[in-house]
Structure formats: C-alpha cells, structure tokens
Structure 1
Amino acid sequence: MAASGAAVRPARGVHRASGPTARPGTIVGVLATAGIVAALMQTLVVPLIGELPTLLHTTASNASWAVTATLLAGAVTTPVTGRLGDLYGKRRMLLACCVPLALGSVLCAVAGSITLMITGRFLQGMGMGVVALGVSALRDLMPPERLGSSVALISSSLGIGGAFGLPIAAAVAEHANWRGLFWAAAALSALVGLLIWLFIPASPTPARGEGRFDLVGALGLGAGLVCLLLGVSKGADWGWTSPATLGLLLTAPLVFLVWGRWELRSTTPLVDLRVTANPQILMTNVASIVIGLAMYASALIIPQLLQLPKATGYGLGQSMQATGLWMAPAGLMMMLVSPLGAKLSAARGPKVTLSLGGLVIAVGYGSFLALSGSTWGLLVVTVICNTGVALAYGAMPALIMSGVPQSETASANSFNTLMRSVGTSISAAVVGVVLAHTTVQTGGYNFPSENGFRTGMLLGCAAALLAGVIALLIPGRQGMPTSRKSRQ
C-alpha cells in the first residue's frame, strides 16, 4: 500500500507486510517527531553533566561516560538497525528503536548510581537509528513529488531536536526534579512508538530466504567503531600518548581492514562496500565526514562563550537555560530552510545544495570573527551556520538514495549517518585539544582563551569550505529517485 492511496508495485524479490495506511503529511509528521525525540536524548543530559558527580556520588571522569555511552551506542547500532530495516521492514525496526529509547529513559530516571545511568544512556543511544530509518522509509511511502521536501525535513530533525532540547532540558533541570527529564523522555518515546504503530505503513522487504543478517560483519564494524570513537572521545581524558588511547587508535584500522575483507567476501554483507565504492556514494560519505567535522565546532564553542563569566573579557555570562534559548532560533531556522533546500536540489541537484550548505556554514564561521562580542551576534552566527547545516543534511540522503538500490536504502543511509558521527567525534577531539592548549586564568580558574575559540571556529570554517569543494566533485547531477522500483 502507498501512503498516497495509489497502488505501488513492490520491487522484484520483495514483499509488503500488512500495516496501517496514512496520508503523506501524517507520515512525515510522525517520522519528524520521532527524529526530534531521538535528538532530544543527545542534549537531555547536558544541563546535568556538572551536577552528576554530586547527584550520583561519582567522579567527573566517570560522569562524562553519560555522554560517551550514547555516542558509542548510536554509532555502533545505527548501521545494524539500517540493515535490519532493509531485511525485515523499516516500520518494524522503527518500533524496535523506540523500545531502548523508552527503557533507557526509565533506567536514567530511577538511577541511583552512575552505572545505571550509563546503562540507560547506552540504551537511549541504541534508538538513534530512527532518523536514518525514517528517511529511508520515505522512499517507499511518499509520492515522488513530496519525497525531496520530506527527506530534507526528517534529515534536519536531529538539529531541530538538539536546538530545542537544550533550553527545555535546562529549564526542567533548574526548576524541577532532574529525574522528571527522563520520565518525560520515556513518555515521549512511548508516544512515538504508538504513533508509528498507528500511522506508518509497512515497507517492502526481501522475499523469505533471500536475505540474512551479517552478524560477523556487525560485530566487526562495532569493534572497529568502539576502538576508533572511544580513543578519539576519551583521548583528552586519558592522554593522547597513553597506552590505552594509542592502543585503541592503532587497533581500529586493523579491525576495519579485517572487517572490510570479510564484507567483500560475504554474499549478504552488512555494508555493501562495492556499492559504497561507487564514486557518487563514496564522495558523498567523505563530504559527510567533513560536514560533521565542520558543523560540530560551533556546537562546542558557542555555548561555552555564552556561559563563560564576563570577567574573562569575552564571556557573556549567560545561564544554561538562557544559553539554550539563545540557540533555539537556529533550530527553527533549520525547519524553515529544509524545504527550500529540497526545491534547490530538485532544480539544480543535491550536490549543489550540499556544496552551498558547506559554503553557508563557512560564512557563519567567518561572521563569528566580527559578531562574537554579543549574545545577538552569536545568535546570528548560529542561525547562519544552521541554515547551512539544514541544506547539507537534506542533500546527503538525496545523493545516497539516488545511488543505491531500493533494497539497500536504509543500510546506505545509516552508514552515511555513521560517517557524520565520525566527523563530529573527530571535531570534538580536535576542538578540545585546541581549547585545552590555549587557556587563560581568571579569578583563579582556567578558561579557554578567546584566541582558542577563534582558532576552533577558523578550523570549522576551513572544514566547511573543504566539504563544499568535495561536494562539487561528486559525479553527475543526481536528483531524488523518481521510481520506487529496485535497481537490482
């Protein structure tokens, strides 16, 4: 069944499971809500990080795992849920992702120890695949004329949820019991699951016996990602030359080499490396890594500048709640810009939109040099940067989906999402190193210096420009796919 009400013939070798029917607008609304709720999980704990050591009787180093656990879980499980979505149905896996989101939120709400908190945060990270699954489901469910704008909106939901999540979480943490944050997250996750059950139709799946899950490939990719991302994210805490950090970073490429050899020999790989080697897919994924690296610099730097004390001479002395409110308009801008990006992709091709997105992000970073002295100036910077992010986020899935068979849509989109996560993790490490090595002392405390912030933003600017150039090198003028038939 098609969301538009017209019959759509499933691709050869696939069958369509039973499921509800819904109008295209309802489908997009539900999937966008799911993406926003998933994004809320990432920012939910930010206002509590400084207080977790006291609340849960632990050290600051242990408390930081409440962030790291979600990052690792999301990176490792997103490609797995994508492949499972291609094999067993995207609606089914969307529902499955809601289970760890809700269960993890409940565990965090009742946590009396850091161990239980980290476990809950890990489970929340396991549900992050809903965005890539939602984007992929649109290819099966939406009329061709609505596909581009729908994909752009769902792709932007991560940024939208992140931008709105911070002020909401800060307000609740400041004026109510912190556990209420996680009870609310659990309720939202359950609500999203109910909406998916009621309104999202089933997608085509391979005929019985024609596909199997590559467990060895999943374990190999997970091991490589844990080594890479754990080394990158914890290197600053452990020391970049410590045996643990060096061991992880040296082990990661070896694991990926073995994993790649396995995937090339497998008849049903977790990630079809031959498809990802297609120049269009390869260059899009490379651009995604660099976009992730570029965009995350502002997310790390601007909140710090807003909250640093005015005594530093460049800090703006805002509370966590006020900081979130100053950054919220950037999320609204992503929502407004995403349909415009879809129209540009339809007219000029998504690689032009992706390149323009990188250029706009670079302009935002450049404007930081002149506007960083006031809250209103930083508001303008975040709005410009998120305009570019909205353009880029909407273009990347379009490029991926126009270059892969329909039977691999979710897997390919999930792998692309993973590439962005790798970029943001590298960005966090690089910016962290820059800020740690450029400090000033004010009132007996060490703070990152103004030059450190400027250097971090300039690095983000350079990365954004590089992403724009890479996007222009993507072969051909590809548009959104206009047929739901598999190209296998």
Structure 2
Amino acid sequence: MPTHGVPTSNDPPAAPDGALTAGAVAAEPRGSLTTLVLLVLGVFSYLTMEMMVAPIVPFVQQELGITPSQSAWMLTGLLVVGAVCLPLATRYADIADKKKVFLVVLGLSGIGAAIAALATTAPLLIAGQMLQGVGVAVVPIAIGIMRDSQPLSRARTANTIFVVSGGLGAAVAYVAVGPIVTHLHYSYIYWFPTIVIAAVVLVGLRALPSCPPVAGGTVDWTGAVLLGAALVALLLGLTFPTSLGWGSPLVLGLLVLTIALLAVFAVVERRHPSPLVDLRGLAEREVLGVMSINTAHSIATFVMYVILPTLALLPVAIGYGMGGDASTAGLVLLPYALLVVVAGPTAQRLEPLLGRRGTMILGAVLIVAAGLVLLGIGSAPWTPYLCSALMGLGLGIGFTQSLNTIVRVVPAERVASASGAVYVVRSVGGVLGGQIAGAILSAGLTAAGAPSWGAILANVLLIVALGVVSIGLSYLLASRRSTATAAAVLTPAQA
C-alpha cells in the first residue's frame, strides 16, 4: 500500500541486520503510573456520566414537564456535538500539547454537566447536555497521551483499561441510576462524576506530562466547518425519520446535503497541507478495516440496545417476551457491560496468539452467536441475558483490538485523530442502528400494539448479518504471521 511519505507503523525500524537501532531504543519513553491513573479516572468519570443520561430521561420529563421530542435531544444533542467537535479536538491534540487539550475538553464536559444539573428548563438542560458532548474526545486524546508518554506495551495496555472503563461505567450506570434517583435526585447523576472530573483537572494541571506535538501543523478550519456541517446534516437526517418518515423532503434533503458536503470536504482535505482528517491514512488497508468494522459493530450495538429492553418488557404470554419491568429492561443489559470489562484484557492476551485479524474475527463470531441465541427465546426466556453477555464480549474484544491496531499502525503524530475517527464512525453507526431497529419494530406492530415476532426476527438477523460482515472485513487486518513479523523488531519493553 502507498504510504504517501509517512510510515504506516509505530514500530521502530529495524537495522539492516535485523537488530534494533540505538535511536529506536533511546526513543522509548519510561512513562508514569500517575499519568495512567489520572487519564483512567477522567475517562471513567465521563463515560459513566454519559451512560447514565438515558435512564434518567423519564424522570427529567416528569420534573421539568418537557415533551418526548424535547427530551430526545438530551441524547441526540450530545451525540451531534460530540461527533462535530471530536475531529477538531483530536486534530488540535495532534498539533498542540495533548495535556492542555485533554484538560480543556474534560473541563468543558464537566461544566456542561454542572449546567444540566442546575437546569430548571428544558433549553438549559439540553444546552448543558450538548456542552457535555465535547467530552467524547477525552478517550482518543487520552490514547494519544499514553502513546506519547508511555512505553508502547503500557500504551496498548491502557487501551484495554480504557475499554474496561467504558464497561465499568455502563455497569455502574445501570446499577446506580435507580438508587440515586429514588433516594436523592437525578441531578446527582451529573454531580458525582463532575466532582471526579474537577479533581482530575486540578491535579492534572501539575501531574500530567506535557505532550508537545511530534510535528507542526495548523488547524484546517475550512475542513472543520465542512465536516461539522456534514455530520450535523447526517445525524439530523438519521434522527428525524422517527417523526417525519424516511420519505420526508427534509430528511432526503439533509442526506443529499451530507453527500455534497462530504464530497467538497474530500476535495479540500486532499489539497490541504495539514488536513483535519488524513484521508490517505484512513484509506490504508488496516485503518480502513478498523473503521468499517466499527461502523458495523456500532450498528449492531444499538440494534441490541433497542431489542433487548423491548423483549424484557413484552409479556411472556406473547411467546417471545420476558414479562419484566423497567428494572428488567436495565438489568438485561448488565451482562453486556460486565463482559466488556472482561473483553479488554482478553483481547490483550489473544493478539499475540491469534494476530490482529484472528482476534477481530473471534469478536465478530461472538456477535453472530449473540444473535443466534435469541432465536430460542420462545422456549428459553433467559436467552436475552446470554445474548447481552456474548455481545459484550464480542464487541469489547473488537473495540480493544481496533484501538490497539490504531496505536500500532498509525504514525504517532496521528494517533489521537485516527482514534477520534473511530469514535466518529461509532457515533454515526449508533444513530443509524437505533433508527433502523426502531423503524423495523414500528413497521411490524401487531394489532395489540406490540412488536411482532417477524420484526424481532428481522432485528436479530440484522445482528447476525453485521457479525458476518465483520468477519469478512477482518481480513483487511494483518494476519498472525504479519503481526509476528512486526513484533520481531520491538524493544524488550514493547514486546
């Protein structure tokens, strides 16, 4: 594959005789556990706060007297702002001190959370949620800081820890929301993580290492405006069909506008000396594979988010329901969150054995299995819990391997923005998955108003199909032999 003048791997180069160069060994950073702890606390607090938003929507509606369409913007607004700001924040992290960008982004998310906690009106609450969305960039920037300040072995371990933090954050959210709302107030959902965020920012000002840019550059503001407008148009175009329908002129117009803006963006980026998004780098085989797989995985994730709580609430008498209540709808997703925690370390250990490709295929196979087990729900009402667990394991392995692949194959000065691109495609895929699942269920309602088995089956088969597609896309990643060859030129600290 063409490299366009930049290396396609973070592995140090080998000397002609296969030995390491002295410069490669000298360049290995020693790192600090304090850095890792602060970054993990910042990531965990933000992700926990983000995962707690959806369960409190009914309580916010009741207390503030807002409509369902207004409350939907608590989630959509956060997602839109995150998707727009993420490429800009991660690109700025590539050309500036990552420490400063991380603390600013994390601090802004904390301010947004405080605004939402204090809000007494819907517009102020939504504004706080939207500002909170800036924090989506904390994970890819944290990955960039780890890559700059730690040995490669610890940087890759940190990727695992960040994925585990997401799983733990989701688990804490699913378990803690009920008691907090029952005994305190929904605003504490924002206050508890914000206290941790404030502590991380204050301590991080002194304790986090400075991470100056590897190479110079400027922010491509033209590209930022074009990409931001395209993402806003796309996400709104995927959100409005719920109320307006896919054939609505507004929806079709937004999708056409998205295509036009992305086309102009591609032209601008290919000509810009310091592009916001390295399109040539994203077109490299393994990076393209990671982006494509994460799109499929995020669609599958949000299809699961829609159908598992739906199955939990349907009556047993219907033949494919669990007969549960709101608590059941949350608990059915708990195995997913817990298995994501297990999946991170699992992927870390599997890559040396299976290679990048084999590890990613394993994750995809587990997603296929997760869909297939739901076919037996009529005779085994517990199968949604097994589906949730298998999805958590498969998606967690896939996401951990994705981040490890980015750290391994992308030049160091582009790690933050490339990791950010993974999160952008996951946001877009998530919105698309939720809309598709919802549309399928809405189209298949029975006379009693419940989703038909045909609608449930279509969503189940969609998860299976996305898993199969992910297996095929995994062949874009390096094989076990290729991975072993690359590992042969690592320092002992990196191996």
1:126 Cα deviation after fit: 0.7
Does the 8 Å contact 2:95/2:218 carry over to 1?
A: yes
For normalisation by structure 2, the TM-score amounts to 0.87
Partner residue in 1 for 2:223: 217
1:312 Cα deviation after fit: 4.7
Partner residue in 2 for 1:358: 364
Residues 44/137 of structure 1: CA separation in 2 closer, same or farther (3 Å cut): same
Q: In structure 1, what is the Cα distance between the partners aligned to 2:139 and 2:293?
A: 19
Partner residue in 1 for 2:462: 459
Does the 8 Å contact 1:156/1:394 carry over to 2?
A: no
Q: Does 1:162 align with 2:165?
A: no
Select between 369-378 and 176-185 the one with higher mean Cα deviation. 369-378
Partner residue in 2 for 1:146: 154
Query: Amino acid of the residue matched to residue 434 of structure 2?
Result: A
Partner residue in 2 for 1:304: 310
Partner residue in 1 for 2:389: 383
Does the 8 Å contact 1:167/1:320 carry over to 2?
A: no
RMSD: 2.6
Q: In structure 2, what is the Cα distance between the partners aligned to 1:85 and 1:174?
A: 40
Q: In structure 2, what is the Cα distance between the partners aligned to 1:181 and 1:311?
A: 36
Does the 8 Å contact 1:295/1:361 carry over to 2?
A: no
Residues 103/483 of structure 1: CA separation in 2 closer, same or farther (3 Å cut): farther
Q: Does 1:61 align with 2:69?
A: yes
Partner residue in 1 for 2:284: 278
2:234 pairs with one of 205, 228, 243: 228
Secondary structure of the residue aligned to 1:269 is coil
For normalisation by structure 1, the TM-score amounts to 0.88
2:143 pairs with one of 118, 135, 145: 135
Secondary structure of the residue aligned to 1:45 is helix
Partner residue in 2 for 1:94: 102
2:438 pairs with one of 411, 432, 453: 432
1:310 Cα deviation after fit: 4.9
Query: Amino acid of the residue matched to residue 300 of structure 2?
Result: A
1:256 pairs with one of 235, 258, 262: 262
Partner residue in 1 for 2:45: 37
Partner residue in 2 for 1:370: 376
Q: Superposition pairs for residues 341-352 of structure 1, below 5 Å?
A: 341-352=347-358
Does the 8 Å contact 1:97/1:130 carry over to 2?
A: yes
Partner residue in 1 for 2:297: 291
Q: In structure 2, what is the Cα distance between the partners aligned to 1:374 and 1:95?
A: 48
1:271 Cα deviation after fit: 0.6
Q: Superposition pairs for residues 238-253 of structure 1, below 5 Å?
A: 238-253=244-259
Q: In structure 2, what is the Cα distance between the partners aligned to 1:30 and 1:371?
A: 43
Partner residue in 1 for 2:93: 85
Residues 220/383 of structure 1: CA separation in 2 closer, same or farther (3 Å cut): same
Q: Does 1:23 align with 2:29?
A: no
Q: In structure 2, what is the Cα distance between the partners aligned to 1:322 and 1:212?
A: 50
1:115 Cα deviation after fit: 0.6
Residues 309/187 of structure 1: CA separation in 2 closer, same or farther (3 Å cut): farther
Q: Does 1:75 align with 2:115?
A: no
Residues 464/369 of structure 1: CA separation in 2 closer, same or farther (3 Å cut): same
Segments of 5+ residues of structure 2 without an aligned counterpart are 1-23
Q: Does 1:474 align with 2:483?
A: no
Segments of 5+ residues of structure 1 without an aligned counterpart are 1-6
Query: Amino acid of the residue matched to residue 383 of structure 2?
Result: G
Query: Amino acid of the residue matched to residue 362 of structure 1?
Result: V
Partner residue in 2 for 1:3: none
Query: Amino acid of the residue matched to residue 79 of structure 2?
Result: L
Residues 424/87 of structure 1: CA separation in 2 closer, same or farther (3 Å cut): same
Secondary structure of the residue aligned to 2:140 is helix
